[in-house]
Amino acid sequence: MAATVKTRQIVFSLKLAIHFISLFLLAKLYFQAFNDRLGADPVEAVLHFTGIGAFNLLLLSLLVSPLAQQFKWSFLLQVRRLIGLYSFTYALFHLVSFLAFEVQFDWSLFLNEIIDRPYITVGMFAVVILFLLTITSVSSIKKTMGRNWQTLHNAVYVALCLVALHFYWSVKSDIIEPSIYIVISVFLLYLRKNKIRRWFRSF
User: What pLDDT does 178 receive?
Assistant: 96
Domain ranges for the chain:
2-201
pLDDT of 3 reads 61
Model-level pTM?
0.95
- Spacing of C-alpha 164 from chain mean position: 11
The b-or-e profile of 109-129 (16+ CB within 10 A means b, else e) is ebeebeeeeeebbbbbbbbeb
What angle do helix axes 176-190 and 193-201 make, rounded to 10 degrees?
Answer: 70
Sequential pLDDT tens for the chain (203 residues):
556 888 999 999 999 999 999 999 999 999 999 999 999 999 999 999 999 999 999 999 999 999 999 999 999 999 999 999 999 999 999 999 999 999 999 999 999 999 999 999 999 999 999 999 999 998 899 999 998 999 999 999 999 999 999 999 999 788 999 999 999 999 999 999 999 999 888 77
Q: Using CA atoms, how far apart are residues 2 and 124, in angstroms rounded to an integer? A: 46
* Nearest partner of 168 among 39, 55, 88, judged by Cα: 55
